[in-house]
Structure 1
Amino acid sequence: MMARTLAEQLAAHFGAYDDDALTAGNRAAVKRLLLDYLGVAVAGSQTGSGKVARAYAASTGGHGQATLIGDGARVPAVQAAFANAISSHSVELDDIDVLALFHFSPPVYSAALATAEQVGADGRALLAALAAGCEMMERLSKAANNSLRNRGYHTTPTCGTFGATIAAGRLLGLSQEQIVSSLGLAGAQAGGLMEMYGPSMQKRFNPGPASRNGVTAAGMAQLGFTGAATIFEGERGFLAAFTDENDPGRLVADLGQPYRLDIEFKPYSCARPIHNAIDCALEIRREHAPDPARVRRIGMARHPDWVLYHQNARPATYHEAQVSLPYSVAVALTDGQALFAQYNDARLQEPLLRRLSELVEISVDESLPRGVSCRMTLEMDDGAQYVSQVDYPKGSIQNPMSDAELRAKFDSLAVPVIGASRAAEAAALVADIEQCRDVGQLMRLLSPAG
């Protein structure tokens, strides 16, 4: 008997996946992320990048199958997945994996929700699709990283395309054979570059095609379009094309065992590897209350995994500021927080923030225990020194945000856009999503009344 390819093994696994396969931990994780995703996407839909994405999706025409978050327009599922993924990545508050390599929800949740509306799925089917899509995405990241990232590919879209495909495929009821083909078609569309840091909206765009392409791959496979079964391990397959080093076995490791999804959440409106540095600054501020005007030097030791990233001390736009460690540390020291309000173009030229940003000296320390670890040394003009090291940032598995904190985050993002009544109704639906008979009922709440 011919050995099964990786795609065939994954298809057998995900083909048998349903709501009953969810562990209690994974059920809680994907439900918590659903509330978080919706709040972030609602807020993101009102940003410049979110507005453009919505306008583009609405301009394409076609059958109204799914809802654009933020305005309620009905568009084809592929366009809803595209625009909602961009919206959910537009305020830098979306979830993160434990290694800070990718975001689960923009590609996977956007594809799943659009497809769920398209087919009239219920909440139980949605949860199973979300968990399956997240698992697929993380398995591929584990097989491909850190080589994928180090070669310049952005994990969220490259691996997210496959996660979106599995999520959409589950909701479309694909057979195992069709799932194999859909994974091949996902590979034909995988991509996304790390050349995205700068003053433009480039970073916001990346999850959009991944989510759209996942819906496309699943839909084409459902109609009979076949794809390569060797898409992962083939001579010119995903792993060979996107990595220099990889571990194919991690794609299918322990397929018969319960899979633990470790999903982390973001309390700060910036790139996740910066959060440890912000926590260092907030800890020093809380314990020592240093006068920001009297700071003489800010040393920031980082692990080799991330030391070459986020170094821009003079961001020109808030997009750049959200991937700037120096600016984020500066605003944390002065404001005591790093929410979306702190990242706006008007703040970037404030003399104190500019001065503090330029004082940050980033260095490498191989002894730090985790890729995102940071150790900050703050020196004052009188010679006083304050030190803080953070290995697990707020929102991580080891330092989690509570349900109450996640609900407060959701309300802070959603209420200004859709109002308190709709926000409360949406949160209640998410909390009891297993009883929801039509996911469209939830999606219709995610725009301003009227």
Structure 2
Amino acid sequence: MSSSQPSLLPHATRELASFAAITGFADIPTEVIERIKLSLIDGLGVCLHGATLPWTQKVCELAREEGGNPLASIWGSGHRTSTTNAVLVNSTAGHAFEMDDIHKESILHPNSLAVPIALALAEADPTVTGRDIATALAVGYEVGLRVGNTATMSLFLNGFHPQGTSGTFVAAATAGKMLRLNAEQMQNALGIAGSMAAGLMASQEGAMVKRLHTGRAAQGGLLAALLAKRSFTGISDVVEAGYGGFLSSFSRTPNPSRLLEGIGEDWEAGKVGFKMYPNVTSIHAALDAMRSILTEEKLEAADIAEVHVGCGHMTFVHTAWPYRPAGVTAAQMNMYYGLSVMAHKKDVTAADYGEADIASPQLLDFMSKIKIEEDAELEASGPSLRHAARVRVRTIDGRSFAREILHRRGSPENPVKWGDIERKFNANIAGLLAPNLGRILLDSCGTLEKLANVTAINDILAATFPVTTAPVSKQPAEARR
């Protein structure tokens, strides 16, 4: 039946696979490599913090019970298991607290998908160099982000979580590059990965399973690449098939032109941004605007009579549903909660998502002052302003203040620097790693392309938290292979 439906873009999967297979480190622009290094250190920080959280611990417990050939570490646990099980846990950790990086158009968080894969395969094969890691991450990001771009926001609006669906292509291409797949094998890896895609957006309103979407996508993409290396075949036109393909099934109204245009020249991997609040990216512009009003106009929550927010359709659907205390996930995904915290604290941090905080009567009462509506002008501006927000605050004494934030802090258009990500990283590892070990990770990521191997990184990640001294590998490198 699939052959009776016209292809959305003939040979697209083959072209993506060929690009992934033949692209080398020298083909990747320096500025993209620099962004990848920033994404790597950000990814390590969020994964290490996420490893301590109860939902990650439940996945870890299951992986430990099942066992596996001890090739790769479950970070922070002191335990080794199979590469696929290690990636399942570590990537779940990466998305465990809404702090992983973000590519706006594709709606993907690539570092929580790709970083655990690259380092797990490097641990299984200590001959892997830092340049190999950088190349695999850049290529994996590029392939998956382009699939996400092509799926458009319609995939999300159809109820699917991009991280669990389009994310499998980030994972498969990263793993395939690490495993040195040729073009035919890479095409099969992508063809297998497309059938692994899964994840439903209703999970955002209060369920641990949203975190697992990343772990499963990463595990599925790695499994796809490992099988492809063994001559297992996948759907040859998985991305573009007119019936039963990834785009025709999940998106239904894709934009095929976004898949290959400018590939190798215009790098989507260089357009990844970073989260400066521990919650869904779609509310960050509104939080930035609210913070600006509060701090610059010297307002307190008690001064505010009304908050009005205008945003695009997707942000409205994604975050403006009526809030109820249904767990940490729901609080992190909800604009009413985030704005209420900002009004009272003039910031939003991880500490604001404790079990008592998310049901605070003070915060719940303030939410009645917040009105969120779709802004037709912002919506008409298209995907480039998907995160934009207009916030107006009216005070009890009748004053009115307004801010428009088109590009949130941390976006490629309003970028942060290495020092900002370093501070975020240090906050994430506080109490888990001694400062000198954090510095080793920072320095190693900062000079990634010069590293003969990444053993020092993996040895730190492999130890049991808290780690106060440099760990020593329990087995010789040759034995771990």
TM over 0.5: yes
Does 2:382 align with 1:375? no
1:304-323 to 2 correspondence within 5 Å? 304-311=313-320, 312-323=322-333
3-state SS, counterpart of residue 359 of structure 2? coil
Which of 251, 254, 267 pairs up with 2:259?
251
1:58-97 to 2 correspondence within 5 Å? 58-97=64-103
Comparing 267-276 with 309-318, greater Cα deviation is found at: 309-318
Number of residue-to-residue matches in the alignment:
448
- The alpha carbon displacement at 1:346 in A equals 1.2
- The alpha carbon displacement at 1:258 in A equals 4.8
- The alpha carbon displacement at 1:15 in A equals 1.0
Q: 1:397 maps to which residue?
A: 412
Q: 1:232 maps to which residue?
A: 239
Q: 1:353 maps to which residue?
A: 363
Q: 2:125 maps to which residue?
A: 119
Distance (whole Å) between structure 1 residues aligned to residue 106 and residue 19 of structure 2: 26
* Equivalent residue letter for 1:279: D
The question of whether the paired residues in 2 share the 8 Å contact of 1:112 and 1:164 is answered with no
Distance (whole Å) between structure 1 residues aligned to residue 59 and residue 215 of structure 2: 9
3-state SS, counterpart of residue 392 of structure 2? strand
* Structure 1 consecutive aligned stretches of length 4 or more whose deviation exceeds 4 Å: none
The question of whether the paired residues in 2 share the 8 Å contact of 1:40 and 1:94 is answered with yes
Q: 1:439 maps to which residue?
A: 454
3-state SS, counterpart of residue 146 of structure 1? helix
Alignment deviations for residues 408-450 of structure 1 (CA, whole Å, 9 cap, x no partner): 1100111321221211111111111122222232022124327
Distance (whole Å) between structure 1 residues aligned to residue 90 and residue 65 of structure 2: 15
Structure 2 residue ranges without an equivalent (≥5): 1-8, 472-481
Alignment deviations for residues 24-61 of structure 1 (CA, whole Å, 9 cap, x no partner): 11101100000000011111111111211222222221
- The alpha carbon displacement at 1:100 in A equals 7.2
Distance (whole Å) between structure 2 residues aligned to residue 313 and residue 7 of structure 1: 41
Distance (whole Å) between structure 1 residues aligned to residue 264 and residue 110 of structure 2: 22
Q: 1:142 maps to which residue?
A: 149
Distance (whole Å) between structure 2 residues aligned to residue 95 and residue 9 of structure 1: 27
* Equivalent residue letter for 2:201: M
- The alpha carbon displacement at 1:70 in A equals 2.1
Distance (whole Å) between structure 1 residues aligned to residue 318 and residue 170 of structure 2: 26
- The alpha carbon displacement at 1:75 in A equals 1.1
Does 2:192 align with 1:182? no
Distance (whole Å) between structure 1 residues aligned to residue 449 and residue 316 of structure 2: 43
Q: 1:44 maps to which residue?
A: 50
The question of whether the paired residues in 2 share the 8 Å contact of 1:100 and 1:272 is answered with no
Alignment deviations for residues 306-325 of structure 1 (CA, whole Å, 9 cap, x no partner): 21221233333222111111
The question of whether the paired residues in 2 share the 8 Å contact of 1:119 and 1:172 is answered with no
Q: 2:353 maps to which residue?
A: 343
1:127-276 to 2 correspondence within 5 Å? 127-234=134-241, 235-260=243-268, 261-276=270-285
Distance (whole Å) between structure 1 residues aligned to residue 403 and residue 438 of structure 2: 37
The question of whether the paired residues in 2 share the 8 Å contact of 1:169 and 1:179 is answered with yes
| Cα distance change on mapping 1:359 and 1:410 into 2, 3 Å | same
Q: Please report the TM-score for the alignment, with normalisation by the length of structure 2.
A: 0.90
Does 2:432 align with 1:422? no
3-state SS, counterpart of residue 379 of structure 1? strand
Distance (whole Å) between structure 1 residues aligned to residue 356 and residue 433 of structure 2: 26
Comparing 35-44 with 97-106, greater Cα deviation is found at: 97-106
C-alpha RMSD of the superposition: 1.7
Distance (whole Å) between structure 1 residues aligned to residue 262 and residue 106 of structure 2: 23
Distance (whole Å) between structure 1 residues aligned to residue 106 and residue 32 of structure 2: 19
Q: 2:341 maps to which residue?
A: 331
3-state SS, counterpart of residue 317 of structure 2? coil
- The alpha carbon displacement at 1:216 in A equals 0.4
Percent of aligned positions with the same letter in both sequences?
27
3-state SS, counterpart of residue 102 of structure 2? coil
- The alpha carbon displacement at 1:305 in A equals 2.6
* Equivalent residue letter for 1:307: F
Distance (whole Å) between structure 1 residues aligned to residue 434 and residue 25 of structure 2: 32
Distance (whole Å) between structure 2 residues aligned to residue 367 and residue 249 of structure 1: 25
Distance (whole Å) between structure 1 residues aligned to residue 458 and residue 111 of structure 2: 15
Alignment deviations for residues 257-316 of structure 1 (CA, whole Å, 9 cap, x no partner): 352420100010100001111101110111112121232111111112321221233333
Q: 2:478 maps to which residue?
A: none
Distance (whole Å) between structure 1 residues aligned to residue 79 and residue 63 of structure 2: 9
| Cα distance change on mapping 1:11 and 1:349 into 2, 3 Å | closer
The question of whether the paired residues in 2 share the 8 Å contact of 1:293 and 1:352 is answered with no
The question of whether the paired residues in 2 share the 8 Å contact of 1:317 and 1:344 is answered with no
Which of 82, 105, 108 pairs up with 2:114?
108
The question of whether the paired residues in 1 share the 8 Å contact of 2:129 and 2:453 is answered with yes
* Equivalent residue letter for 1:216: L
3-state SS, counterpart of residue 202 of structure 2? coil
| Cα distance change on mapping 1:295 and 1:314 into 2, 3 Å | farther
Does 2:307 align with 1:298? yes
3-state SS, counterpart of residue 362 of structure 1? strand
The question of whether the paired residues in 2 share the 8 Å contact of 1:112 and 1:168 is answered with yes
- The alpha carbon displacement at 1:209 in A equals 0.7
The question of whether the paired residues in 2 share the 8 Å contact of 1:23 and 1:258 is answered with no
The question of whether the paired residues in 1 share the 8 Å contact of 2:105 and 2:148 is answered with no
Comparing 200-209 with 34-43, greater Cα deviation is found at: 200-209
* Equivalent residue letter for 1:206: H
- The alpha carbon displacement at 1:256 in A equals 4.7
| Cα distance change on mapping 1:258 and 1:21 into 2, 3 Å | farther
3-state SS, counterpart of residue 270 of structure 1? coil
Comparing 223-232 with 75-84, greater Cα deviation is found at: 223-232
The question of whether the paired residues in 2 share the 8 Å contact of 1:99 and 1:372 is answered with no
3-state SS, counterpart of residue 345 of structure 1? coil
Q: 2:287 maps to which residue?
A: 278
Distance (whole Å) between structure 2 residues aligned to residue 231 and residue 86 of structure 1: 25
- The alpha carbon displacement at 1:189 in A equals 1.0
Distance (whole Å) between structure 2 residues aligned to residue 170 and residue 127 of structure 1: 10
3-state SS, counterpart of residue 92 of structure 1? coil
Distance (whole Å) between structure 2 residues aligned to residue 374 and residue 419 of structure 1: 39
Q: Please report the TM-score for the alignment, with normalisation by the length of structure 1.
A: 0.96
* Equivalent residue letter for 1:401: V
